[in-house]
Amino acid sequence: MANPIVARSLDEIKFWSRIMKEHALFLSLGFTYEQKQLIDEAKHFITLFERIEEKLTNFSINSDWQQIQSFNNEVYQAAAAIWSYKRKVLGLTLRCEIRSNNYPLLVDHISREAAYFANRLKELNQGVLDPKPEAIIEENVFFLKIMADHAKFIGHLLDPSERKLVEQAREFSHDFDQLVFQAIDLDSMRPQSETKPLLSQFLNQNKVSVASLRDFKKTARELIEECRIKSNIHPLLADHTFREAERFLEIIDLFEASLKR
């Protein structure tokens, strides 16, 4: 019988390694031509995570757990390394030592995702599969902030003349900022707030909002791919943010299932 931790490990690596590879690409595209060293470092990470994706094909849900633990450790090191690189870029940007087209919030955003990925691998290697009540709140704070950031990035990267879409993005940004604050409030009430009725309502409310944002991203992705709107959004970036919204919905489903046990 397949080990569920093996299956989850492979799923996390499949999803997040692609995300990390794309982060490196987006950073490289945002640097200016004289920032060659930073571009070369980004290209190194693209290659590193491509190799991880290739290695992933050698494993299956029936693979030996010790082999998967070793692979998790290897990928953890890669995630930690790209996190360190992203934080270095953030520091250079905030100290005005470099000027690029990578927003500081974007660099911070993608470093938070690298930290999340590394932490997930660490938890899985410790045998942690089912989320604890506090993890439900914490992960929602994390992902709600990610969704709020996405709305802000979309609003800023759309051409200002796309007034309707820009306004929609701003509305999503405001809505998700409110959800983040609400999640932080629930987090500060722990452990008393860790009741099934409260967590169930919390997840349901978030699910509705994330599904709405996911649909907006899907529409934006299609419009960008078909060159029907004006923006500085790379088609891959549009798909990237859509996939992360889909991922959040999958995680909410897992949390809801855990509350029913």
- Tens of pLDDT along the chain (261 residues) come to 678 999 999 999 999 999 999 999 999 999 999 999 999 999 999 999 999 999 999 999 999 999 999 999 999 999 999 999 999 999 999 999 999 999 999 999 999 999 999 999 999 999 988 777 778 999 999 999 999 999 999 999 999 999 999 999 999 999 999 999 999 999 999 999 999 999 999 999 999 999 999 999 999 999 999 999 999 999 999 999 999 999 999 999 999 998 988
25 touches 42 (CB < 8 A): yes
pLDDT of residue 2: 74
pLDDT of residue 129: 83
pLDDT of residue 15: 98
Per-residue CA distances from 105 to 109, 153, 220 (Å): 6, 9, 21
pLDDT of residue 94: 98
Tokens of 224: 């960008």
Residue with tokens 């987006």: 26
144 touches 183 (CB < 8 A): yes
pLDDT of residue 160: 97
Angle at CA of residue 121, ends 84 and 180, nearest 5°: 75
Q: How far is CA 116 from the centre of its chain?
A: 8
Q: Phi/psi of residue 33, each to 5°?
A: -60, -30
CA distance 86 to 27: 9
pLDDT of residue 1: 65
The dihedral over CA atoms of 143, 223, 163, 105, expressed in degrees to the nearest 10, equals 30
pLDDT of residue 119: 96
174 touches 180 (CB < 8 A): no
CA distance 46 to 228: 30
Per-residue CA distances from 96 to 31, 89, 193, 221, 253 (Å): 14, 11, 42, 32, 42
CA distance 136 to 187: 10
**Can you tell me whether residue 231 is helix, strand or coil?**
strand
Count of beta carbons in the 10 Å neighbourhood of residue 64: 11
Query: Where on the phi/psi map is residue 51: left (φ > 0), alpha (ψ -120 to 50), or beta?
Result: alpha
230 touches 162 (CB < 8 A): yes
Query: Where on the phi/psi map is residue 63: left (φ > 0), alpha (ψ -120 to 50), or beta?
Result: beta
> What single-letter amino acid sits at 177?
D
Residue whose C-alpha is closest to residue 34's, from 109, 108, 86, 97? 97
152 touches 105 (CB < 8 A): yes
